[in-house]
């Protein structure tokens, strides 16, 4: 699993009341304490749209449990998934760069909970809390990387490889042993027809990668899935590690990411 607990001054277990969200857990105690009064815990019902593309961003949601799809509209009726957000991230994090309108829609795939903060409260907090600002900027960088890698992936790799990568990413972000996902959900997420998912599920299950149990998928062999997954999964893991280690400025990092993304997409379509 590539999502690790980030460095924090607290190093306390979740049972003590610390948020489960990894961005919030990365903050020093003083910053978390100042932020806590303006964080509101809410339930995330499956199929709820947290943000609509093209509409103003009113709240940022730090995901505590569950899984959110980032959807790009391709025509009036259809949208494809370009990213996944779990307890590693926050919906609406782009406000840290000054954006006030959502570029993508955000749809709850697996229900759970989130800590919600209004954009006004977050703006005030960002001016005063440097570690929060750095954590969100780092996450925006990873999100840009994920969106671009997903685009390159869908043009270049087989469905079985993409499915293995998707399952690993969902598993990392949900931190659940059993994922409450259906073949319909995966078909919508990966932009393919249901029979294509059904065939790939069957093949992966026969290889012992996972077991299907009443609307849930239990991962049995993560190492096996990693061997099947395309390089996109490993690229994103490495990128995550690089962001954690990076000493260069976040703005420079984001500019480099965009340049890299365009290069990858160009390679994929050429
Ligand atoms: Zn790929």
Is the pTM value of this prediction over 0.85?
Answer: no
Angle between helices 130-156 and 231-245 (to 10 degrees): 160
- The predicted-structure confidence for 76-122, as pLDDT tens digits, reads as follows 888 889 999 999 999 999 999 999 999 999 999 999 999 999 999 99
Cα separation, 161 vs 166, whole angstroms: 9
Cα separation, 146 vs 223, whole angstroms: 21
The pocket of ion ligand 1, defined by CB under 5 A, consists of 153, 157, 230, 232
- The predicted-structure confidence for 21-48, as pLDDT tens digits, reads as follows 999 999 999 999 999 999 999 999 999 9
163/264 same-domain check: no
What's the total number of domains in the chain?
2
- The predicted-structure confidence for 127-164, as pLDDT tens digits, reads as follows 999 999 999 999 999 999 999 998 899 888 999 999 99
Cα separation, 50 vs 15, whole angstroms: 27
239/200 same-domain check: no
Cα separation, 270 vs 211, whole angstroms: 38
Cβ–Cβ contacts within 10 Å for residue 238, how many?
Answer: 13
140/9 same-domain check: yes
Going 139 to 140 to 143 to 148, the CA torsion angle's sign is negative
Give the mean model confidence (pLDDT) for residues 240-265.
Answer: 55
Q: How far is the CA of 167 from the centre of ligand 1 (A)?
A: 12
Average pLDDT of the chain is: 85
The CATH number linked to 208 is: 1.10.10.10
203/242 same-domain check: no
Q: How far is the CA of 162 from the centre of ligand 1 (A)?
A: 5
Q: How far is the CA of 4 from the centre of ligand 1 (A)?
A: 22
133/248 same-domain check: yes
175/248 same-domain check: no
- Domain coverage including residue 125: 3-154+232-269
Q: How far is the CA of 211 from the centre of ligand 1 (A)?
A: 23
The CATH number linked to 101 is: 2.60.120.10
């Amino acid at each position: 699993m590539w999502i690790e607990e980030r460095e924090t001054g607290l190093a306390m277990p979740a049972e003590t009341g610390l948020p489960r969200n990894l961005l919030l857990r990365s903050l020093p105690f003083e910053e978390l304490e100042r932020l806590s009064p303006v964080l509101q815990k809410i339930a995330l019902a499956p199929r709820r749209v947290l943000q609509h593309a093209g509409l103003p961003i009113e709240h940022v949601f730090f995901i505590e449990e569950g899984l959110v799809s980032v959807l790009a509209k391709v025509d009036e009726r259809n949208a494809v998934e370009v990213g996944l957000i779990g307890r590693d991230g926050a919906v609406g994090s782009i406000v840290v760069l000054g954006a006030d309108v959502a570029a993508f829609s955000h749809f709850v795939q697996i229900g759970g909970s989130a800590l919600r903060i209004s954009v006004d409260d977050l703006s005030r907090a960002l001016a005063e809390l440097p570690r929060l600002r750095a954590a969100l900027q780092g996450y925006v960088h990873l999100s840009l990387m994920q969106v671009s890698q997903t685009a390159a992936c869908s043009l270049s790799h087989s469905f079985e490889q993409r499915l293995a990568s998707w399952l690993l990413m969902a598993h990392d972000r949900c931190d659940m042993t059993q994922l409450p996902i259906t073949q319909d959900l995966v078909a919508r997420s990966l932009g393919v027809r249901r029979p294509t998912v059904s065939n790939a599920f069957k093949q992966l299950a026969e290889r012992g990668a996972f077991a299907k149990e009443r609307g849930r998928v239990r991962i049995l062999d993560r190492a096996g899935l990693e061997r099947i997954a395309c390089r996109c999964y490993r690229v994103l893991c490495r990128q995550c590690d690089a962001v954690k280690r990076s000493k260069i400025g976040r703005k420079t990092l984001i500019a480099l990411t965009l340049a890299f993304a365009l290069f990858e997409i160009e390679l994929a379509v050429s």
